[in-house]
Amino acid sequence: MESNKKYGYLIQWLIGIGDLIVLNILFFIVYYGLNSIHTLAITGSLREVVLLLNFCYLVNPFFPSLKMKKEMRANFDILLSEYPSGLNVNSLLIAKYFGLAQQYVCPGNGAAELIKYLVDELTGCLGVVYPTFEEYPNRMQEDKVIAYVPQNKDFSYTADDLMAFFAVVC
């Protein structure tokens, strides 16, 4: 039991440091350590799998901007001691920073929360292209989800494909 706990902390540490190289090495260790029945879902070459892992890595090189970083440094003590602000304050600050009207800002704590707000406001059906982030169909009543699944090997589709499909079913 103590040994498993140590490995659990090691894995948490490896994932926590967020180094893509370490994550790729960890992936290979896990991939080769598993029985082939557990890796059947992984198709294609390992290079494709690593590219998929890289694609899923949560990085945005364009955010935050230098101006925002300076603002956060200048206000670090206030941000640290007075967080979290209310939704009103957050939407007002975001609107001011990006030059938007406050009524058009919807701050959230991640994609799932924002999708929930969106789906709560929808009336009628929701068209979903599969494969998808499952939060969209999971938040909607099952009978209100209209699924489009591309009928080809690589799940590709065009805007014309979507317009033709949803024009008929909606």
Residue range 141-163: average pLDDT? Answer: 91
In three-state secondary structure terms, 63 is: coil
Residue range 17-38: average pLDDT? Answer: 65
- Cβ atoms of 93 and 102 closer than 8 Å: no
Residue range 117-139: average pLDDT? Answer: 88
What is the distance of C-alpha 55 from the center of its chain?
11
Is the predicted pLDDT of residue 150 greater than 70, yes or no? yes
pLDDT, tens only, 3-17: 555 555 555 555 555
* Cα gap 127→106, rounded to integer Å: 22
* Cα gap 32→35, rounded to integer Å: 8
pLDDT, tens only, 67-101: 888 988 998 888 777 766 677 888 898 899 899 99
* Cα gap 112→134, rounded to integer Å: 10
pLDDT at 66: 86
Name the β-bridge partners of 129.
148
Query: Which amino acid, 148?
Result: Y
Q: Determine the angle formed by the axes of helices 20-33 and 46-56, rounding to 10 degrees.
A: 130
pLDDT at 149: 93
Name the β-bridge partners of 148.
129
pLDDT at 55: 47
pTM of the predicted model as reported, rounded to 2 decimal places:
0.44
